Amino acid sequence: MRSAKVKQVGRMRPGDHLYLAFGSDEEQREIVCDFITDGLALDEKVVFVGDRSTADTVAGWLDGHSRAAGTAGAADTVGGRGFLQVRPAESAYLTEGHFDPDSVLTALRTEVAAAQREAFSGLRLAVEMSWALRGAPGSGRLPEYERRLEEVFHDGSVTGLCLYDRRLFDGGVLGHMTRLHPTAVEANALHDDRMLRITRTFDPVGLSVAGAVDTTTVPALAAVLNKRAAAAGHEDIRLDVAGLEFIDVAGLRAIVETAGRLQGRVLRMTNLAPALRRVVSLVGWDQSPGLEFDDEAVLA
């Protein structure tokens, strides 16, 4: 079940209490790294509460994220007192072996006050919620806790992200959490203007293109495709164009040229409109090296 509203992680603001129901390690890593690095850039105190992920795990995520972005690493702050702290779920949520929403909310208010005393611009909190599946006494009070978090978030002093692994939680629980979080978070768009929006997809892994590709937007499409081709390693590139409203010859050529540079890999276009599929076939580009189609479009 999907929330009625979705916000890119880079657009989160103080007072936001959002959630991510992720289906892969890559999706969690991508969004959490952006969440953390945004907080560091804003001089916030960032706390990551891990259940399956340790301080070393988060450090590895941030190192890889900074290398991909071509920036200095932030991972040397992990485990320190400074801007970023990684804590185990046991110490934050399961003190003395049980879950008590009252004590956790009290501790959160204390954390907010400490961040203010330490002159941080705010508190940023991300939590892996899989601790609730351990069967510890009090775990059934999780929905109550999620509702009562608004007592802390309402004044805009905290930015929060609850992380639910779809591979672990059943649909009933996820549906309940969706209702308790009116807004979900998604990965930042790779390109987003009035004409063209390009985003990453994680299930399956690839890119999604929506809008129009013409002379004004083809450079953005080409840049994203080139970067993805360089970063994909030995993986194929999946390009979902279900939301594509228009693409000119220059846009199609950019896709064909990217496919031709993949050297043993393929660029697979999915959900291509039948009319566009026929155009590609008529000009012979469907025979281009490295380019494949899912052929869900019917060539009538």
105-108: which pairs have CB atoms within 8 A and are 24 or more residues apart?
105/145, 105/148, 105/149, 105/151, 105/152, 108/149, 108/152, 108/158
User: What pLDDT does 295 receive?
Assistant: 65
255: domain range? 191-293
**Is 300 contained in some domain?**
no
**Is 80 contained in some domain?**
yes
Q: Do residues 160 and 238 share a domain?
A: no
User: What pLDDT does 62 receive?
Assistant: 95
Q: Do residues 171 and 227 share a domain?
A: no
Number of domains, the chain:
2
Distances in Å between the Cα of 124 and the Cα atoms of 39, 84, 116, 136 are: 6, 9, 12, 26
User: What pLDDT does 81 receive?
Assistant: 41
**Is 106 contained in some domain?**
yes
Mean pLDDT per 10-residue segment, the chain (300 residues): 79 96 95 96 96 96 83 47 84 94 97 95 97 96 95 94 97 92 94 95 91 96 92 83 94 94 92 90 92 65
CATH value at residue 226: 3.30.750.24
**Is 211 contained in some domain?**
yes
103-110: which pairs have CB atoms within 8 A and are 24 or more residues apart?
104/145, 105/145, 105/148, 105/149, 105/151, 105/152, 108/149, 108/152, 108/158, 109/152
Which residues does residue 251 pair with via DSSP β-bridges, in sequence order? none
CATH value at residue 117: 3.40.50.300
Q: Do residues 105 and 172 share a domain?
A: yes
User: What pLDDT does 258 receive?
Assistant: 94
Q: Distance (Å, rounded) from C-alpha 220 to C-alpha 213?
A: 9
Q: Distance (Å, rounded) from C-alpha 105 to C-alpha 148?
A: 8
